[in-house]
Homo-oligomer: A and B are copies of this chain.
């Protein structure tokens, strides 16, 4: 008798924001980076992708599908196909070892995903998306793979996705093998080691998206005369120093490296031909505000970092919430995003905000469309709330 079960597994996966940036591929097809990177995984209560992977002989043969926030996505791209192919191969190996196992690898996949944050916010949702996709299919297939083993697969979907398979503080070692077998993510420290790390995201109302990171990083590798120094010398030293700072919970060292590495990355973008500008005058106002807050505190209590867009992510330790988040809340009192539990817990601190000059404050008020308050968090979590029902139909969470 034919097996008409709808097999399902669901997971949530987090966003991560790098403090040592990934920029440049030595192998674009395998997503192998020119340098290692290191990130902080952010709490899923604030930002996460929820994904259900289902498979069934009931689904139309040969048709894998992916629904994201209710919209059908193209799964024919090389990146998604690489993830499907690698995961099926691992399942096939299991099935070959144990003939009792249901033959899931042959069944069509139905993937349904939902983000709890606006895709338009430019929050690199592909990292959470591919981490959730890989983790959910691995769970569906009951693969015994560790997160580091799965990171090899998630990396092929989206480079930074490999880091979202872990919580806390995560390194992606570039590796040296041509096949990418040693380009993997590892836990540097769990969230519980340094749980007080907070992140305030200033979502800049950018008129349009800039150069895609895939296109941009290849242009940098091809044309920047400064990039080799970053990849070969600057980043390896910073990877060591950042791991030490995290292990020692040394916020000032963490912050110094975070800001320097963000600036180094954007410097290489500017040194690209034609130049790539991700930061704008609003981003620069965020830099000035963080500098003013640190100067007023007499020590480094906040660190900015910018990905491939104008949004600022400001890291700070919980003990300095008033000086950092309190100052930004006073400046950006009218901005959307303070209404969640974390935002309401922050008291606007006019005194702390006094160090931010009026021009900088004005630029932030005009340019920041939304704030997101979050902090370090856990890696992917298996959940029983499925986005595909027992008959195989997509459902809303």
Residues of A bordering B, CB below 8 Å:
207, 224-226, 228-230, 233-234, 256, 259-260, 263-264, 266-268, 270-275, 277, 280-281, 284, 287, 291, 359
This protein's copies in its complex: 2
By beta carbon, the residue of chain B nearest A304 is B275
Using A281-B280, A291-B274 as known contacts, say yes or no to A264 and B233 having CB atoms under 8 A apart: no
Residue of B whose beta carbon sits closest to that of A274: B291
Complex Cα gap A277–B284 (Å): 8
Residues of chain B contacted by A229 (CB below 8 angstroms)? 225-226, 228-229
Cα–Cα distance between A158 and B68 once the two chains are bound (Å)? 60
Q: B207, A359: Cβ atoms under 8 Å?
A: yes
Q: In chain B, what residue has the closest Cβ to A256?
A: B273
Which B residue's beta carbon lies closest to that of A287? B275
Look across to chain B and name the residue whose beta carbon is closest to the beta carbon of A273: B260
Given A229-B229, A259-B273, A274-B287, 11 new contacts (CB under 8 A): A224-B267, A225-B260, A226-B230, A226-B234, A226-B271, A256-B273, A259-B274, A263-B271, A263-B272, A267-B271, A275-B287
The residue that A226 contacts in the complex, of B267, B272, B274, B284, with Cβ under 8 A, is B267
Question: Given the complex, which residues of B lie within 8 Å of A274, measured CB to CB?
Answer: 259, 287, 291
Q: How far is the CA of A114 from the CA of B229 in the complex (A)?
A: 45
Give the CA-CA distance A82 to B315 in the complex, in Å.
48
9 A-B pairs with least C-beta separation: A267-B271, A267-B267, A229-B229, A225-B234, A267-B270, A226-B226, A281-B281, A263-B275, A226-B229
In the complex formed, the residue of B with least CB distance to A275 is B263
Interface pair A225/B277, CB less than 8 Å apart: no
Interchain nearest-CB distance for A260 vs B (Å): 6
CA distance A207 to B281 in the complex (A): 13
Bound Cα distance A234, B271 (Å):
11
Which B residues are CB-close (under 8 A) to A359?
207
A113 to B323, CA, bound (A): 50
Rounded to whole angstroms, the CA-CA distance of A268 and B268 in the bound complex is: 9
Closest CB of chain B to A334's CB: distance in Å? 23
Residue of B with least CB distance to A234: B225
A33 to chain B, nearest CB (A): 18
Contacts A226-B226, A229-B226, A233-B225: A271 and B264 contacting too (C-beta < 8 A)? yes
